[in-house]
Amino acid sequence: MNAPAGIVVLVSGSGTLLQALIDASLDPAYGVRILAVGADRDDVEGLRRAERAGIDTFVCRVRDFPDRVAWDAGLAAEIASRAPDFVVTAGFMKVLGPATLGDRTILNTHPALLPSFPGAHAVRDALAHGVKVTGTTAHLVDAGVDTGPILAQRAVEVHDDDTEESLHERIKEQERELLVDLVGRLAADPRGALPSTSGPRAPR
């Protein structure tokens, strides 16, 4: 059996996407090892989930650096020190800069069917526009906001009585499954899981 692919996961909040990856990685057949979990703030549940699972953690707060360029360099250094095969942003609410992006493969999931409803309020925006179907998208991260190459999507029907919370919960169910599936496929077949025209290199 090949050695598992090593990943770094970045979080900003409760870490439910991270937990799905932690649970999946307990199975050796999944082929993924979480090397570290990083956050942009202290005292978030995502870090506690990692600590309970015995996973290395780090915090890289913007306010601890003189500017965003320095923060980006600091985050890039933290990631590089773990030498991951690729990086996953799992509810990480910061735009990554050029030092972190580099030539890394970085995956993200978003609670909408991109290119519709990018940004931090995707579920609210979908409801406000009255769409009947929304969903979740897995994509590569680039310098924009939810603009990277799309890898996979899953649709979620919008119910007439949906609130932002109820709709988001159903989207998150699909989002967790999509992320676990894609990370596993990328670990098993790096080049096969990525579009041939994408900018970042395939993982080692």
Positions annotated as catalytic residues are 110
Characterize 161-190 residue by residue with b for buried, 16 or more Cβ atoms within 10 angstroms of its Cβ, and e for exposed. Answer: ebeeeebbebbbebbbebbbebbbbbbeeb
Peptide bond into 115 cis (omega under 30): yes
Structure tokens at 32: 């993924």
Whether residue 40 contacts residue 12, with contact meaning beta carbons closer than 8 Å, is answered with: yes
Whether residue 158 contacts residue 133, with contact meaning beta carbons closer than 8 Å, is answered with: yes
